[in-house]
Amino acid sequence: MNNTEYKQTEVGLIPKDWDELTFKDICWVNQGLQIPISKRLILPNKNSKVYITIQYLNDGKTIEYIDDYVASVCCNKEDILMTRTGNTGIVVSGVEGVFHNNFFKINFDRYKFDKDYLVYYLNQSKTKKIILAKAGISTIPDLNHKDFYSIPIPLPPTKAEQTAIATALSDADALISSLEKLIAKKRNIKQGAIQKLLQPKEGWEVKKLGEKSDIYRGGSPRPIESFLTIQSDGINWIKIGDVKKNAKYIESTDEKIISEGLSRSRFVNEGDFLLSNSMSFGRPYIMKISGCIHDGWLVIQNYQNNFDRDFLYYVLGSEAILQQYKAMASGSSVLNLNKEIVKNVVINCPKSVEEQAHIAKILSDMDEEIISLETKLEKYKKLKLGMMQNLLTGKIRLV
């Protein structure tokens, strides 16, 4: 049972024995240098330092170096930097070099304060909102020294408790990072399996998709506002926005249309394939519902006698098919699919639908494992957010 007594502060309830401070009480900051482009180097000399900019950190820009610098604008891997203008509030640690004028370097007494505790506190969403509010709502947010110093921070009474909190959060980060690496590894393995399993083999046959299925373009009743309905018996109106990120299936829609719109659109059934003719170029989706599609979609129907559904899904999503689409759509300023392009796509596959299903089962099992890991990853990320909220306000004590 937690017997801690609490007090109300600017950042909410914190334990009575915690200090209610601001960053002015615990640190001092200095800005970096804005080095003219003419003085920046691509290739370093013996005494050069890495020039740390937002572009370098976020965009993988080619590393730049400088020779002309002073010690006050240098940082090492144990220091804390925070962007003060532009993308205000981005916290950086673990870099070494000369930092740009867009950064504050946060200097503090390392005997009293745990660096990682400060980093976690600055990175929590509540603190970021405070930082952005203080930076202003102009076109380019700008946090000055005074505003930075006024940011509130609750602190445990001992550095040992700060360190215990930071260690618990660091352990959570390590678990999340480990799971992200495992997911990336599994995805690479699956990609290799797709290439190997879908590679044409002796006894396979070549089929043009349009010869073994029916392909149609959707249609849009206009003006669409006149055909939308909130009635439960309306027909599902399927839009790009109804597709979830990285989804295999389309399972629901936000809108429905009245029955009069059916004659001006294209009806699709559960099990049909949809392809976007522009957005998410060529990516296949399997219908888990029925409904009507607008003219931004193509539908593949009546394929079941020639293709296993999941096998066709993996084939249509493969790099080989995407390259065929691009080759046939080349010459246009914007890549667009149309019915003729999709009809002429060539598919290499086993003659037997049963053999196709066996291949698809291997890949589906891999997908299910990845989805399970991704679900676990989201759970861990939510748990870490909860840990930050509870540990950084003393609702849970570790010492």
Q: What is the pLDDT of residues 207-243, one digit of tens each?
A: 999 999 999 999 999 999 999 999 989 999 999 889 8
Phi and psi at residue 279, in whole multiples of 5°?
-65, 150
Q: What is the DSSP string of 255-268?
A: EEE-GGGGGGSEEE
Contact (CB, 8 A) for 345 and 209: yes
According to DSSP, the residues that pair with 103 across neighbouring strands are 83
Contact (CB, 8 A) for 80 and 91: yes
- pLDDT of 313-323, one tens digit each? 999 999 999 99
Q: Does 106 have pLDDT greater than 50?
A: yes
Instruction: Give me the mean pLDDT over the 99-111 stretch.
Output: 93
Q: What's the pLDDT at 143?
A: 92
Instruction: State both tokens at 45.
Output: 């000399």
- By DSSP bridging, strand 97-99 and strand 49-52 are parallel
Q: Where in the chain is the domain with CATH 3.90.220.20?
A: 19-155, 205-349
* Fold that domain 205-349 belongs to in CATH: Adenine-n6-DNA-methyltransferase TaqI; Chain A, domain 2 (3.90.220)
Determine the residue type at 180: E
Q: What's the pLDDT at 332?
A: 63
Q: What's this model's pTM, rounded to 2 decimal places?
A: 0.83
Q: Which residues have C-beta within 8 Å of that of residue 352, sequence separation ≥ 6?
A: none
Cα three-residue angle 387-390-27, rounded to 5 degrees: 95
Domain 19-155 top-level CATH class: alpha beta
Q: What's the pLDDT at 4?
A: 80
How many whole angstroms separate alpha carbon 70 and alpha carbon 57? 21
How many whole angstroms separate alpha carbon 98 and alpha carbon 163? 28
Choice among 31-35, 119-123, 391-395 with the minimum mean pLDDT: 31-35
How many whole angstroms separate alpha carbon 53 and alpha carbon 63? 9
Name the percent of the chain in helix, strand, coil, to the closest 5: 40, 25, 35
